[in-house]
Amino acid sequence: NAGVMQNPRHLVRRRGQEARLRCSPMKGHSHVYWYRQLPEEGLKFMVYLQKENIIDESGMPKERFSAEFPKEGPSILRIQQVVRGDSAAYFCASSPRDLGQPQHFGDGTRLSIL
């Protein structure tokens, strides 16, 4: 029973490049959430998606950040023109269709900006 799969585990980018982070939810889960964790801090909600729909993006910066969860394939968090402040661990979580179910996290992608 595979859990939430994220890749890559580590990603290094230079300032101004693009970063693409991928998340495949657990089997049977149709809700995906992205959270950001800065070193020594808690997790901050970014965006909540269902297949082909963004449900809540209230935690995502208006510029440079975008997310999608297509009908086929993983959810993608895309950061354009990365800056040093984007360095963080980005975690994806998934939950089943029914609201109020527990969210299970992937291993995260650690993004480092040179």
**Binding stretches for other proteins (CB under 8 A):** 31, 33, 35, 41-45, 48, 55-56, 58-59, 91, 95, 99-100, 102-108
Residue 5 CB, shortest distance to other proteins, in Å, is 11
Q: Hey, what amino acid is at 102?
A: P
Residue 81 CB, shortest distance to other proteins, in Å, is 26
Nearest CB to other proteins, comparing residues 40 and 63 = 40
Residue 16 CB, shortest distance to other proteins, in Å, is 28
Residue 105 CB, shortest distance to other proteins, in Å, is 5
Burial of 34 per CB tally in 10 Å (0-12, 13-18, 19+): buried
Nearest CB to other proteins, comparing residues 14 and 42 = 42
Query: Cβ of 94: how many Cβ atoms within 10 Å?
Result: 25
Query: Cβ of 27: how many Cβ atoms within 10 Å?
Result: 9
Contact 111, 85 (CB under 8 A): no
